[in-house]
Amino acid sequence: MKWFKDEDFIRGEVPMTKFIKRNAIVSLLDVSEDDKVLEIGTGTGSVTCQMAVICKEVTTIERNDEAIEVAKKNFEKFGLNNVMLIKGKAPEGMDGADFNKVYIGGSGKNLESIMDKLDEKNNFTVIASFIIFENAYEFKDLLKKRNYKNIDTYMINVSRAEKLEMMIAENPVIIVRGEKND
């Protein structure tokens, strides 16, 4: 399996989930070869690409035009034919999506309506990443109120050594994970 490095991606001005965080997300979602993943918030497609080299298919929803163009270039660059990109703002575009894993990387302040749509299905794992604490706790509360199981919260802080061995910190990310089994 290929582990994409940050420098492998076409970026433009679109924010990208970096290597350590990207692979923590994929690992915590426990993506495997038979999985069908729904991703909300494609961005550059860095998480999408990492999932797509592992799983059966990824359906990803993005609303930002520049992000869509950058992501398409990355999918083409890596020859990923198992990715379906939908332009829209979730929960739009979620109808008919077939999935057993969900990654929410950008909710556009629509967490509740996204969760309403997800709750129409059963037996899946959902993971979401946040840079704002309040949003992570809101999501965790939504999972609890909806009786999701095995809810976990993680914070990932990454620092890298730069010139003169000085550590440069990246923004931390909070990851919340839960399972719906009815």
pLDDT, one tens digit per residue, over 54-112 is 999 999 999 999 999 999 999 999 999 999 999 999 998 898 889 999 999 987 788 99
Question: Model pTM?
Answer: 0.94
Q: Does 93 map to a domain?
A: yes
Q: How many domains does the chain have?
A: 1
CB 46 within 8 A of CB 40: no
Q: Does 91 map to a domain?
A: yes
Q: Does 1 map to a domain?
A: no
Among 101, 90, 121, residue whose Cα is nearest residue 36? 101
Neighbours of 12 (CB within 10 A): 14
Q: Is the dihedral of CA 16, 87, 25, 128 positive or negative?
A: positive
Range of the domain at 46: 6-180
CATH code of the domain covering residue 70? 3.40.50.150
